[in-house]
Amino acid sequence: MERPRRAAGVREQRRSHVGRLVRSNFSAWVLLLPSILLFIIVMWRPILVGIVGSFCQMDGYTAVGFAGLDNYKAVLSDTTFLTALKNTFSYVFWSLVIGYLPPVIFAVMLNELVHWKSFFKFSIYFPTMVPAVAASLIWYFLFQPGEGGILNMFLGLFGLPSSQWLQNPNLTIPLIVFTMAWRGFGSSTIMYLASLQGVNGELYEAATVDGAGMFSKIRHVTLPQISGVMLLLFVKQIIGVFQVMVEPMTMTDGGPNNASISLNLQSYNYAFNYFQVDKSLALSVVTFLILIVLTVVYFKLNKRVSEN
Amino acid sequence: MKRFSEKRGTLISVVDLKQKKYRAVYWSFFAVMVLLVLICLVPVLWLILSSFKDMNEFLQVPPTFIPKSFHPEKIWEAWQSMHFGKYYLNTIILAGGSWLMSIVINGLAGYVLSRLKPKGSTMVFTLILWTMMMPTSVSMVPLFMTFIDFPIFHFSLLNTYLPMWLIAGANAFNVLLFKSFFDSIPISYIEAAKLDGCSNLGIFTRIVVPMSKPVIAVVSIFSINAAWDDFLWPYLVLKDTSLHTVMVQIFTMKTTGYPADLHIIAIMFAIIPPCIIFMIFQKHIMEGFSLSGIKG
């Protein structure tokens, strides 16, 4: 009598175990469901709708027919496209010059200091807390051309001629990038600083014993430590700046004479100012494709670098 | 004043600093940092100082940096004449909803993906992670179309804060932050609760949440701050001026021809709350940022 009862007990236990597994899987999925729905609604579905819509003819915001490649032809043959494309690469170029390397240098410097260190950290991070629109507007006011501009007053103090600032088509992109860098470099610096603080101090001592100078220490001890973060931020920066839109929108609205228009801003103009939604979709798909290519190239390069 | 002897082993060691050459390098680094701090703080300082100038001095050529006229009462008048309290309240409503979504929805997602791991959830996690790399440019217009005619139910979300709340609920970054935090909670706590017959939701609310105060604090600060900064979606969705958030308001002031001195004061109003948040939670923010950066 003993054995069957035990066997039944085991069977029952196993069944209830399976039951519990199914039940816990089910309840887990229920808890995950809101997130899945939101990601579909907000992230995945719009990308698909956008790609499909770029091949359609749109009336307002509804598709009224198939357009094939017409939208793409219209967008690519628009003279603004080449300007916007060239500008967007120019934004990326300047952001690498103004925004990418300085945080590395500042972090290395800051890591050396013992005096006022937390004050420096606080102040450098501070602009990051200024909202993007507010920062753009502050610099828009500072970059006021003519005699009334505060920066021109400072130039005057040094006996320098006034500048047109954002109104100068050659300066407008670097200045917008500068504004973005002003807001963004603090967080990168703090990130580099965090990884520099993880460097074992004995490495530097060993390098000193080996007779290494400052630059060879930077080259052989400091840089290897932060190269991972550097690569990560490199891609993030390119992908981020390639999609620049709000800053030129706030500071110059793409001007003067389209000198600061970016691909995304042009796409925004198509959608919300010119009411050519289909063209907007086609242009953003083009931007999307360029970005995907850049990302894939990056990963390929990265792989080759780490393999060698 | 701190001493050099407090220095940890870095590029320039304590021994190096006995040499004049290295001391010069050290103090030149210091000088660069002072210059940098000026670049960081002076624009904001200029903004605050300019808010106190009267209209004449504001338009004066050449402009002044340190105001000669000082009118603190002007700020209160501007607050009232622009009805800025309304925009603050709107932004607080927006931020409150976004905050709730970030904590509840992203937190639950992080928990399920970290601890419960139902079959197939790794694929969901990969799909969520991909959204962090995905350029958002393609989704702008389709998302706007979604909000003017919501799929299946066919109602418009224009002139509500729902679009921003929905977007806040789909934040891959926060999900990742929650997940990596929950990964670090010892499994034994959860197993003990399971043996006591606690349900999944029960384990989450009674065991995981009380242990997760640090990550909840970081996500809260980030999501509230992000909601305060948010511009594009509120601008596209909130057509009704009485619903405007602070950012939308200071942007539209540029085109609607407000007097520049009032505009400057409005920008100051816009940056005060994040600055206060930063002063209070400085450590949380900087640590949370570098933590998330390394993990992400």
Tell me, rounded to whole angstroms, the distance of Cα A90 from its chain centroid: 15
pLDDT at B63 over 60: yes
B273 touches chain A (CB under 8 A): no
Is residue A65 in some structural domain?
Answer: no
CA B248/CA A75 separation, integer angstroms: 30
Residue B150 main-chain phi, psi, to 5 deg: -65, 130
Confidence of residue A307 (pLDDT cuts 50, 70, 90): low
B191-212: average pLDDT: 83
What's the token pair of residue A191? Answer: 């990130």
CA B160/CA B94 separation, integer angstroms: 9
Q: Are residues A206 and A141 in the same domain?
A: yes
Q: Are residues B104 and B167 in the same domain?
A: yes
Tell me, rounded to whole angstroms, the distance of Cα B26 from its chain centroid: 34
Domain-terminating residue out of B77, B105, B122: B77
Q: What is the pLDDT of residue A177?
A: 95
Is residue A23 in some structural domain?
Answer: yes
Say if CB B159 and CB B90 are below 8 A apart: no
Is residue A201 in some structural domain?
Answer: yes
Confidence of residue B31 (pLDDT cuts 50, 70, 90): very high
Q: Are residues A89 and A21 in the same domain?
A: no
Is residue A153 in some structural domain?
Answer: yes
CA B249/CA A6 separation, integer angstroms: 74
Q: Are residues A135 and A203 in the same domain?
A: yes
pLDDT at B175 over 90: yes
Looking at per-residue pLDDT, the higher value among A34 and B198 belongs to A34
Q: Are residues B140 and B188 in the same domain?
A: yes
Neighbouring-strand partners of residue A57? A65
Q: Are residues B57 and B90 in the same domain?
A: no
- Report which DSSP code applies to B63: -
Q: Are residues B49 and B192 in the same domain?
A: no
A178-196: average pLDDT: 90
pLDDT at B277 over 50: yes
What's the token pair of residue A95? Answer: 């952001």
pLDDT at A179 over 90: yes
pLDDT at A9 over 70: no
B65-73: average pLDDT: 80
A50 touches chain B (CB under 8 A): yes
Closest partner residue to B282 among A25, A46, A122, by Cβ? A122
Q: What is the pLDDT of residue B132?
A: 81
Q: If you measure CA to CA, which chain A residue comes closest to B29?
A: A109
Which are the contacts of A88, defined by CB distance < 8 A and separation ≥ 6? A242, A244, A262, A263, A264, A287
Confidence of residue A308 (pLDDT cuts 50, 70, 90): low
Q: What is the pLDDT of residue A17?
A: 67
Q: What is the pLDDT of residue B267?
A: 94
Looking at per-residue pLDDT, the higher value among B245 and A161 belongs to B245
Looking at per-residue pLDDT, the higher value among B42 and B56 belongs to B42
Looking at per-residue pLDDT, the higher value among A91 and A206 belongs to A91
Say if CB A57 and CB A70 are below 8 A apart: yes
Is residue A102 in some structural domain?
Answer: yes
Q: Are residues A122 and A10 in the same domain?
A: no
Q: What is the pLDDT of residue A203?
A: 82
Q: What is the pLDDT of residue B201?
A: 80
What stretches of chain B show up as alpha helix (H) in DSSP? 20-51, 55-58, 73-81, 84-101, 107-111, 121-133, 140-148, 162-169, 172-183, 187-195, 200-203, 209-211, 213-229, 232-237, 246-255, 260-295
Is residue A26 in some structural domain?
Answer: yes
Q: Are residues B73 and B134 in the same domain?
A: no
Per DSSP, the residues of A236-298 read HHHHHHHT--HHHHHHTTT-STTTT--HHHHHHIIIIIS--HHHHHHHHHHHHHHHHHHHHHH
CA A50/CA A42 separation, integer angstroms: 12
Query: Sign of the C-alpha dihedral, residues B277, B281, B283, B286?
Result: negative
A274 touches chain B (CB under 8 A): no
B65 touches chain A (CB under 8 A): yes
CA A301/CA A270 separation, integer angstroms: 35
| A39-57 confidence digits (pLDDT tens) | 999 999 999 999 999 999 8
Instruction: Please report the number of interchain residue pairs, chain A to chain B, with beta-carbon separation below 8 angstroms.
Output: 303
Within 224-263 of B, beta carbons closer than 8 Å to A belong to 225, 228-229, 231-232, 236, 247, 250-251, 254, 260, 263
B225-253: average pLDDT: 93
Q: Are residues B155 and B211 in the same domain?
A: yes
Looking at per-residue pLDDT, the higher value among B251 and B16 belongs to B251
Q: Are residues A143 and A283 in the same domain?
A: yes
Quick one: residue B191, left, alpha or beta (phi over 0 = left, psi -120 to 50 = alpha)? Answer: alpha
Q: Are residues A39 and A86 in the same domain?
A: no
Q: Which of B232, B183, B9 is nearest to A131 (CA)?
A: B232
pLDDT at B238 over 80: yes
Show the domain range for A266.
Answer: 74-307
Q: Return the CA Rg of chain B.
A: 25
Q: How many CA atoms lie within 13 A of A308 on its CB side?
A: 5
Q: Are residues A200 and A287 in the same domain?
A: yes
Q: Are residues B54 and B183 in the same domain?
A: no
| B130-150 confidence digits (pLDDT tens) | 888 777 788 899 999 999 988
Q: Which of A282, A106, A25, A112 is nearest to B33 (CA)?
A: A106
CATH number for position B141: 1.10.3720.10
What's the token pair of residue B231? Answer: 């511009």
Per DSSP, the residues of B164-179 read HHHHHHT-HHHHHHHH
> Using the beta-carbon criterion (under 8 Å), do B169 and A38 form an inter-chain contact?
yes
Q: If you measure CA to CA, which chain A residue comes closest to B47?
A: A138
What's the token pair of residue A298? Answer: 């990056």
Confidence of residue A283 (pLDDT cuts 50, 70, 90): very high
Domain-terminating residue out of B57, B77, B97: B77
| B261-276 confidence digits (pLDDT tens) | 889 999 999 999 999 9
Looking at per-residue pLDDT, the higher value among A175 and B292 belongs to A175
Q: Are residues B158 and B207 in the same domain?
A: yes
Is residue A169 in some structural domain?
Answer: yes
Q: What is the pLDDT of residue A14?
A: 59
Q: Are residues A168 and A288 in the same domain?
A: yes
Q: How far is A5 from chain B (nearest CA, A)?
A: 24
Q: Are residues B90 and B73 in the same domain?
A: no
Q: Are residues A178 and A43 in the same domain?
A: no
CA angle B98, B100, B106 (to 5 degrees): 90
Report chain A residues whose CB lies below 8 A from the CB of B25.
214
Q: What is the percentage of chain B residues whose pLDDT exceeds 90?
A: 41
Is residue A241 in some structural domain?
Answer: yes
| A71-112 confidence digits (pLDDT tens) | 999 989 988 999 999 999 999 999 999 989 999 999 999 988
Q: What is the pLDDT of residue B119?
A: 84
pLDDT at B183 over 90: no
Q: Are residues A291 and A155 in the same domain?
A: yes
From the candidates B64, B145, B235, which should be mutated to test the interface with A, based on the most A CB atoms within 10 A? B145
Domain count, chain A: 2
Q: What is the pLDDT of residue B295?
A: 39
Q: Are residues A149 and A23 in the same domain?
A: no
Q: Are residues B122 and B261 in the same domain?
A: yes
Say if CB B280 and CB B157 are below 8 A apart: no
Q: What is the percentage of chain A residues whose pLDDT exceeds 90?
A: 40
pLDDT at B232 over 90: yes
A31-38: average pLDDT: 92
Looking at per-residue pLDDT, the higher value among B246 and A64 belongs to B246
Q: What is the pLDDT of residue B75?
A: 87
Domain count, chain B: 2
- What mean pLDDT value characterizes chain A? 85
Residue B57 main-chain phi, psi, to 5 deg: -70, -30
Show the domain range for B188.
Answer: 82-295
- What mean pLDDT value characterizes chain B? 86
Q: What is the pLDDT of residue A2?
A: 47
